[in-house]
Amino acid sequence: MRPLFRALVHAKRHLYWLFFSALTLIGLTLTSQLEIFSIGLITQNTVDVFTLFGSGSSKITRDELARGFDALDPEHKGFFTDEDAMRYLKERGNTGLIQKGFLEVRSFLGEKGGAFSSSLMILVLVSLFKAFFLFFSRFFPRVLSIKVSKELREFYFSHLQKLSMSYFRNEKMGAIATRVVTDSKQIADALNALVTNYIYVPFTFVSSLLFCLFASWKLTLIFFLGLPLVVIPIAVIARKVKKVMRQLLSNQENFTSILLDFLGGIETIKLFRAEKYLEDKFAKENSAIEKWEIHTNKFDLLTRPIIHFITMLSLVGICFIGLYVLSMQLAELIVFCGFLYVLYEPVKKFADENAQVQKGVVAAERLFEVLALQPEIVSRASAQSIPLFQDKIVFDDVSFKYHDRWVLRNISLEIRKGEKVAIIGKTGSGKTTLLQLLSRLYDVTSGRILIDGIDVRDLSLESLRSLITYIPQKPFLFHDTIVGNITFGHPDGSLESVLRLSHADEFIALLPEKEHALVKEHGRNFSGGQGQRISIARALYKKAPILLCDEATSQLDTGSEKLITDALSRLPGELTQIIVTHRLSGVQHLDRFIVIEDGQVTADGTGSELFQTSPYFEKLFKTHGLKVLK
């Protein structure tokens, strides 16, 4: 249960709903008990003859009848009334707890006819209050669970954004998505059950048990004889549910991953005629989910019939002993059995909902496994902030190892403010990794990266990344408007200029909603070139002094590439550009070229210098059919 209590603590500002839940659940218990007592009161219209004249046995002698009649009719009227009978029972004082309660209420309500109609009114009023508490005792716990679930989703989402890139590279997207959506729902349902089980059940159980003990400890003992038979299946089934639920959630993660693959790669699937392959994978995981869901429901539904049968056995024994051994009145037995029902019902409810609680425990454990992860890339306690980039970027003997493979070795570079640099190399040579190290998506394994003489690890992440803007190789567009994708909620007057500079204004002008047009998931309602222009506009809008481009024009046609290249070449001279590319045709305007092969710098200089000194650069230059290198 500890993970669920931790979930409650995480959302402690909503715990006042727990207080309201407790009050209404206690009110529900008390009104349920009063309702049963009211029914018993109605069924006892008059005093039973055996109660008046008997001595606890099932027969009455003539002498007992004569002595009792004289006591009931002290004025020798020759008859006695219902009020005389109640007075006699109260004076005698050897009635049970339930009978005493009946007598006190009947005495308070007055004569017989009025007492009966008043008893009916009491039952109606009690039922009205119970209906009130019945609604709010369910509503308040659900509100609490929904609010806690919301807090957990937001906390989880916020924590995910702080985790390092290595986590996202190692985890399946389906697993991450499942924990955000499915696990939080399981936790909400479990919290709802938990509040009910751990407030309503204990209070109802204890209060009803105390009443039963005072009413008849002998009959209550029969209940205790059956209690172990109730507790044992609950405990056994709880362990089974927890084990099955772990497997079910694991299969749901795989299922979600396959679904995301299908939605993201539908074009590839169709062109490679891989529909059957995906269908088989989908069906396999779907069948696994079906299997474990059946197992879960089997355990969910098994408890109540077992407990119901044990409960009825106990009630049969109680009715037999109460009527034929202890000579209880029927009304008393009705109330006693009613209280036992109120006592047993929470136990059965606990058994029913315990499976849901165990599902929530597993979901909470999985959620807190992620929340327990600490980001590898964090700002140091003594982190500095620099408002401006003023001098240069230095890669000082930088090496980087990912898992067991060296990606970069002994990289030493210096890039001055305002310099426009192209990083060239084969796929997998480590070009993009240089950009990721500079922006601290990863940290260097050895060496240092300095900005204006300060190690980037000594800068706060906020300060470092405020200096950098980025154009990715494959544009990622959010499900938002074009404006939202570019400004991230902070529009200002420069939007028009960046749209014009990125040439995005050309196709946006043709849209009915212009820049307020909605971008669908992953930008699927725009071409690759259009999406890249929006991505370039986003980078320019940030107005950061360092621009990182990772194959920024690879998604564009030749004409668009030229437009973007011209736009980048006209950017202010103080903007430092570091561009990863395979296409020399788009970077001839740059000041400098750096060639990386097998994770090491093999050439660094102007285009004309590298044409003479770097075989790789010369080959790439000739491949593109370039005549003049500016």
* Residue 615 clears pLDDT 80, i.e. is over it: yes
Mean pLDDT of 389-394: 91
The mean pLDDT of the chain is 77
Percent of the chain residues topping a pLDDT of 70? 75
* Residue 56 clears pLDDT 60, i.e. is over it: no
Give, rounded to a whole angstrom, the gap between the first and last alpha carbons of the chain.
Answer: 69
H or E stretch covering 592:
strand 592-597
Of 247-251, 313-317, 493-497, 515-519, highest mean pLDDT: 515-519
pLDDT band at 354 (very low <50, low <70, confident <90, very high): confident
Q: Pull the structure tokens for residue 593.
A: 């070229």
Q: pLDDT at position 9, please?
A: 72
108-117, 304-313, 355-364, 601-610: range with lowest mean pLDDT? 108-117
Q: pLDDT at position 394, please?
A: 94
Q: pLDDT at position 416, please?
A: 92
Mean pLDDT of 24-38: 82
pLDDT digits (tens, 9 = 90+) for 415-471: 999 888 989 888 888 888 999 999 898 899 999 999 999 999 999 988 998 899 888
Neighbours of 356 (CB within 10 A): 21
Radius of gyration of the chain (CA): 39
Residue 179 DSSP label: I
Helix (H, G, I), strand (E, B) or coil at 405: strand
181-195, 270-284, 443-457, 531-545: range with lowest mean pLDDT? 270-284
pLDDT band at 523 (very low <50, low <70, confident <90, very high): confident
pLDDT digits (tens, 9 = 90+) for 176-192: 777 777 777 888 888 88
| Distance separating alpha carbons of residues 217 and 221, to the nearest angstrom | 6
What residue has token string 């989402």? Answer: 157
What CATH architecture is 2-13+139-371?
Up-down Bundle (1.20)
Q: pLDDT at position 164, please?
A: 79
* Residue 110 clears pLDDT 60, i.e. is over it: no
Q: pLDDT at position 147, please?
A: 84
* Residue 5 clears pLDDT 50, i.e. is over it: yes
Q: pLDDT at position 103, please?
A: 55
Nearest to 459 by CA among 382, 367, 350: 382
At CA 98, angle to CA 93 and CA 101, rounded to 5? 75
pLDDT digits (tens, 9 = 90+) for 123-165: 788 888 888 988 888 888 888 888 888 888 888 888 887 887 7
* Residue 528 clears pLDDT 60, i.e. is over it: yes
b/e map of 40-62 (b: 16 or more CB within 10 Å)?
bbbbbeebbeebbbbeeeeeeee
70-74, 325-329, 562-566, 626-630: range with lowest mean pLDDT? 626-630
Mean pLDDT of 528-557: 81
pLDDT digits (tens, 9 = 90+) for 508-519: 888 888 888 888
C-beta contacts of 524-531 below 8 A and 24+ residues apart:
526/477, 528/475, 528/555, 528/556, 529/555, 529/556, 529/557, 529/560, 530/504, 531/475, 531/477, 531/555
* Residue 45 clears pLDDT 60, i.e. is over it: no
Q: pLDDT at position 397, please?
A: 93
Type of residue numbered 613 = T
pLDDT band at 41 (very low <50, low <70, confident <90, very high): low
Q: pLDDT at position 630, please?
A: 47
User: CATH: 1.10.10.60, 3.40.50.300, 3.60.15.10, 1.10.10.410. Which one for 392-623?
Assistant: 3.40.50.300
Of 15-24, 315-324, 415-424, 609-618, highest mean pLDDT: 415-424
The domain limits of the chain are: 2-13+139-371, 392-623
Neighbours of 428 (CB within 10 A): 11
What residue has token string 């795989």? Answer: 254
H or E stretch covering 146:
helix 112-162
331-340, 413-422, 479-488, 533-542: range with lowest mean pLDDT? 331-340
Mean pLDDT of 13-34: 84
Q: pLDDT at position 628, please?
A: 44
Q: pLDDT at position 396, please?
A: 93
Burial bucket for residue 528 (CB in 10 Å: 0-12, 13-18, 19+): middle
Q: pLDDT at position 196, please?
A: 76
pLDDT band at 72 (very low <50, low <70, confident <90, very high): low
